[in-house]
Structure 1
Amino acid sequence: VVPFTIVCGECDQCRRGNFSVCERSNRNKDVADKLFGHTTAGLYGYTHLTGGYAGGQAEYVRVPYADVGPVVIPDGMTDEQVLFLGDILPTGWQAAAQCDIQPTDTVAVWGAGPVGQFAIRSAVMMGAEQVICIDNVPERLSMARAGGAITINFDEESVLERLKELTRGKGPEKCIDSVGMEAHAARSIDSMYDRAKQALMLESDRPHVLREMIYVCRPAGIISIPGVYGGLIDKIPFGAAMNKGLTFRMGQTHVNRWTDDLLKRIQEGQIDPSFVITHSVSLEQGPEMYKTFRDKHDGCIKVVLKP
C-alpha cells in the first residue's frame, strides 16, 4: 500500500515521525516555502504546492523513496482490508489520536464521509464516553450509528441545541472537523456569506464547521482538523477560541506513524476497514461512479475500482 504522503525517512521531520511535513519529498519546495513559509511533504493528487505528483487514480504513478514509504502487507489479507491504510484509515485515526480522548469525553465529529466514519470508530476504540456525528446524508448517518455514534441531521434539527442537550449544557470536550473547506449548511447565514465571497474569489474555503466547532466546544477542549483547508478563510471567531482556551491540532496525516499499529489491529480483528465500501466496480465504470458519489445517489459512500 502506497501512502498519499511521500516520505524520505531521513530528514529531521521524518525522524521525528512528522511524515506529512517531510523536508525532502516536495519537488516544488521553493514555491511552497514562499506561500506557506516552510514546505510540506510531497503529496499525491494535491496541488503543485505539494509537488504536483499525479494522484493515485492516474494511469501511472511514480513512487519516490519506494524503499521507505510503502506499507508491506502480509500474506492472507484481502485488498479491501488494507486499501485504506494509504490514507483515510490513518487520517481518521490521527484525528481521534490528536484529541487525547479520556473515558469521560464526548467527541463530536462533523462529517460522516469515509474519513468521518473512521474517526468515529477510532474515537470509540479509544474509549470515548459518547461519540456524536453531524451530517445530513441519511445513509452516512446510518453507517455512523452502526459504528457507535449518536447522530444529528443538521437539516432536521439544531446542531447547537442538540449538542447542548447531549452534553448537559457543557459542550463536547473534543471536536473533529472531517469536512474541511467545502462545508454545507443550507439555512446558515454564514454559509451564504461564504458562498458569495467564494463566487467573487474573495475567499477560497467555506469554514462554517470551523466556526461552529469553536462556538460549541467546551472551554479548555481540543479541536482536531483532518479536513483539508486550501487557502484563505474569513470571519473566524478567534477571540472566542483564545478566551475559551481551546487547543487546535491539525495537518495532513503522518500516515507511516500509524500504519504498523493499524495493520496489527486489522489482523487481530479490532477493525475491518472494508465496512466503508458501498460500491465495488470495474475501472470502466469509474466516470459513472464519480457522478454517483458526487450526487450522493444509491447510498454511495466509498467506491473501490478494480482494474
Structure 2
Amino acid sequence: MRALTWQGHQDVRVETVDDPEIINPRDAILKITSTAICGSDLHLYDGVIPGVLPGDILGHEFMGEVVETGPGSTLQKGQRVIVPFPIACGQCFHCTIEQFSCCENSNPVEKQDLTAPLYGHPLTGIFGYSHLAGGYSGGQAEYVRVPFSDVGPVVVPDHLTDDQVLFLTDILPTGWQAAEYAEIGPDDTVAVWGCGPVGLFAVQSAIAMGAAKVIAIDHYPHRLELAKKLGAEIVNFRESNVLQALMEMSGGLGVDAVIDAVGMEAHGFAADNLADAVKQKVGIGADRAHVLRQAILACRKGGRVSIPGVYGGLADKFPTGALMEKALKVRTGQTHVHKYTKMLLEKIEKGELDTTFLISHHLPLEDAAEGYRNFHDKQDEWTKVILRPGMERGTARAGQAQETQQA
C-alpha cells in the first residue's frame, strides 16, 4: 500500500510499504477514505517529539471502510467508521471511568520504559505518534490496522459526509473537552490562545456552552476572522499587549477561564519564547511555554486553566507562584475522545455543530508532503488539510467537498 512516512526533520514521503494485517482478535483493518494533517503532527514534522524513526507511518485523524475484522471485533465489513486517536482497551481502570487517553493496556509493554521515567507512568497508545506512544502505524495511508476495534470506532450514518464527521477523531472532541475543562458558566469571560483547529473548536464549544464572552488570541488575520465569525472577540498579539487587552476586556478583573490551545511551539518574539526556541533548537529544552505562562498571568484569581495544547517535556521560567497565589484550578491531558464521539455526532446530525468551515484544502494522499509543507509554512491560508487516498493527482481543491465520501 501507499503511506506517508517520516524520514527526518521536515522530511516526509509517500512510499510503498507492507499492507497491515490482523495481529490480535480484536483488530480490524480499515480502507482509509479521509485522513487529516493535525497541528500536533507538525511537532513530529519539526522533530521536537522524540521516538519517531525513519519509515514510521504518520497520522492520527482518519476514517474509512472496514475491510477485514478479527474474531473479537464488533465491526462488520463495509461499515464506515471514525476512529479516536487514542487507543483504548475499554477494560482497564482508566477506561472504566472514561479516562480513555490514560488507558493502561494500549502501549505495548516493550515500549513502556520509554516514557515511564519521564512521566512517572507510560503513555497511552496513539496512532502514528512515535514509539513513545506505542509505535503504532498511523492513518495517513491507504489502509490501517485498528487495535481494540470493539471499543473505539463509531459507525457513521451514510447521509453524513466524511468532511462533516472526520474531526470527531480528534480536534472537535479536543476543543469540546478543553471548554468543558474550563467549567464555563453563563456569565464567564473565556480567553482562548491559538486559532488553529483545536483553538477554533474550543471557541465554538465555549460559545455553545453559554459563555458570555469568548476572546480569541492569535496573529494570523484569516484565523482570527474565522474566530470572529464563530462569535468571538479577537486580539492580535502582534498588535496589542495581550495581558493589558484582556484586563480591559474583562472589566479589570481578569478572565474567568483560559484555554491554551497552542502548546509546545508558541510563536512570537517575547524574550521567554525566544529563549525557549533556542533551547528547543539545540536540544536542551522541549517546550516553548510562553502561552501557558501568559494564560496563567491573565486568568483572574480563583479562575480555571484548561490546557489542550500538547506539551512533551520540560519547561522552565514557569510561574508557579502565580498559579498557587491566585488559587487557580488546572486541567489538562490528551483527549478522552471515546467519551464524546457519540454525543458530538448527534450534535452534528442535528445541525448544532458544523466543522466544515475549517477545511481549506483537499489533497491526494500522494501530495501529502506538499500538504505538510504548506500547513507548516502557510498557516493562515492552510487552516486544515484533508488527504484522500485514491484521489487523482492534479485534482486538489480548496474548501470543503459536499459529496459523501465512501470507499
| TM-score category (smaller protein) | over 0.9
Partner of 1:7: 88
**Quick check: which one's strand share is greater?**
2
Task: Determine whether 1:140 maps to 2:140.
Answer: no
Task: Determine whether 1:284 maps to 2:361.
Answer: no
Instruction: Between the two structures, name the one with larger relative contact order (CA 8 Å, sep ≥ 6).
Output: 2
Partner of 2:246: 163
Give the Cα–Cα distance (whole angstroms) in 1 for the partners of residues 117 and 372 of structure 2: 34
Determine if contact 1:117/1:144 at 8 Å carries over to the other structure: yes
Q: How does 1:225-236 map to 2 (within 5 A)?
A: 225-236=307-318
**Higher alpha-carbon Rg:** 2
Compared with structure 1, are the counterparts of its residues 41 and 106 closer, same or farther at alpha carbon in structure 2 (3 Å cutoff)? same
**Quick check: which one's helix share is greater?**
1
TM-score norm. by structure 1 comes to 0.96
Q: Secondary structure in 2 aligned to 1:193?
A: helix
Could you report, residue by residue, the CA deviation over 1:97-126 in whole angstroms, capped at 9, with x for unpaired residues?
Answer: 111100110110000000111000000000
Out of 157, 169, 189, the position equivalent to 1:86 is: 169
Out of 5, 8, 21, the position equivalent to 2:102 is: 21
Unaligned runs of 5+ in 2: 1-81, 390-407
Partner of 1:109: 192
Task: Compute the displacement of 1:289 (Å).
Answer: 2.1
Give the Cα–Cα distance (whole angstroms) in 1 for the partners of residues 279 and 243 of structure 2: 25
Q: Secondary structure in 2 aligned to 1:257?
A: helix
Determine if contact 1:134/1:152 at 8 Å carries over to the other structure: yes
Compared with structure 1, are the counterparts of its residues 160 and 228 closer, same or farther at alpha carbon in structure 2 (3 Å cutoff)? same
Task: Compute the displacement of 1:74 (Å).
Answer: 1.8
Between the aligned residues of both structures, percent identity stands at 54
Partner of 1:267: 349
Give the Cα–Cα distance (whole angstroms) in 2 for the partners of residues 55 and 10 of structure 1: 23
Task: State the one-letter code of the partner of 2:104.
Answer: E
Task: State the one-letter code of the partner of 1:16.
Answer: I
Could you report, residue by residue, the CA deviation over 1:221-260 in whole angstroms, capped at 9, with x for unpaired residues?
Answer: 1100000001011110101100100011000000000111
Task: Compute the displacement of 1:214 (Å).
Answer: 1.0
Determine if contact 2:365/2:388 at 8 Å carries over to the other structure: yes
Task: Determine whether 1:196 maps to 2:275.
Answer: no
Q: Secondary structure in 2 aligned to 1:109?
A: strand
Unaligned runs of 5+ in 1: none
Out of 64, 70, 73, the position equivalent to 2:153 is: 70
Q: Secondary structure in 2 aligned to 1:77?
A: coil
Q: Secondary structure in 2 aligned to 1:121?
A: helix
Task: State the one-letter code of the partner of 1:182.
Answer: E
Partner of 2:335: 253
Could you report, residue by residue, the CA deviation over 1:12-39 in whole angstroms, capped at 9, with x for unpaired residues?
Answer: 1000000000010011223332332112
Task: Compute the displacement of 1:81 (Å).
Answer: 0.6
Aligned pairs, how many? 306
Give the Cα–Cα distance (whole angstroms) in 1 for the partners of residues 198 and 327 of structure 2: 27
Could you report, residue by residue, the CA deviation over 1:14-68 in whole angstroms, capped at 9, with x for unpaired residues?
Answer: 0000000001001122333233211232011222221111222145422111111
Task: Compute the displacement of 1:163 (Å).
Answer: 0.5
Moved over 4 A (4+): none
